[in-house]
Amino acid sequence: MENLIQIERKARIFNIQKYSIYDGPGIRTLFFFKGCPLRCKWCSNPESLERKYQVMYQRKLCVDCGECVKVCPLNIHKMEEGIHYVDRSINCNGCRLCEQVCPKRALSIAGEDRLISDLLEIAIQDIPFYQTSGGGVTLGGGEVATQPEFAANLLMECKNAGIHTAIETCGHAPLKSLLKIAEFCDLFLYDMKHINPEKHLEYTGVRNERILENLKELIERRYNVKVRMPLMKGLNNDPETIQKTIEFLEPYKDRKNFQGVDLLPYHKLGVNKYDQLDKIYTVKQDLSLSEEDLDLIEQQIKHYDFPVKVIRH
């Protein structure tokens, strides 16, 4: 790749999380990219889905003081009979004035444009933790591959600083975008949400042919890949679905760059964010798996000599 060093770019980020132990080896710093091509029914980061800025509003904290109405240049914040509400038909410009004047912190803006140098500085602060734990930086989302040039540049700068790099990806992206990132990525944490293309479409809004093809390409091109399987009771935890997933992965299990499977049990973290965005969380049933359920899936995969681990938050 040409002239990447010292190129300064901006990416839209919606969260930065330090000291994570769930998203790659060791202690890690996570940068969450805004924008995603999937619409998973169980998504725990609804503020990650759209690239645009979004107003997050906690009604229960609001005292209807109207300070946000006074400062918003776009008239997004309105009062009706003394009650504050957010006009979702108007796109936020990310000025954050409402966030700054809200006395009860009922308002926050999802989305912030950050420079490579900004994020690199944050990552470098924790190099001692990476060195002692075998950790590093992980880019997540949303979907990292929606902003591939920035991701590749940031990972390259992390590599230059001696930091281990990883990305979390749904895999639904042009292969060229993933390969652009792969040059500087030590580990792909690659989601397999459902092996059946029709079920994948039903649950995520897209079919999975491209996702599976990209996964094969990355493994066959010898990039380090760990598959991650989000597990939801009644959606993708049945023995047949697990079996077909194993059959798809079995040709690669002896490759050194295929690093096994992480099982990610469903959780309800982030459900309250839907209210803050005036969105409806459409999952009505309990998708949680019992320890017995998880043990059965783990044993089914281990039977085929796959490295497998349940990631419990």
Per the annotation, does 62 bind a ligand? Answer: yes
40 is in an annotated binding site: yes
Q: What token pair was written down for 77?
A: 């914040």
102 is in an annotated binding site: yes
The secondary structure of 37-97 as a DSSP string is: S---TT-S-GGGSSSS-EEEE-GGG-----HHHHH-TT--EEEETTEEEE-TTS------H
On the 0-12 / 13-18 / 19+ scale of CB atoms within 10 A, 195 is buried
Is 68 within any annotated ligand binding site?
Answer: yes
Residue 267 annotated in ligand binding: yes
Phi, psi of 126 (to 5 degrees): -110, 20
Note if the bond before 142 is cis, omega within 30 degrees. Answer: yes
Residue 42 is labelled as binding a ligand = yes
65 marked as part of a ligand binding site: yes
User: Annotation-wise, does 191 bind a ligand?
Assistant: yes
Binding residues for [4Fe-4S] cluster: 36, 40, 43, 62, 65, 68, 102
Binding residues: 36, 40, 42-44, 62, 65, 68, 102, 142, 191-193, 267
Binding residues for S-adenosyl-L-methionine: 42-44, 142, 191-193, 267
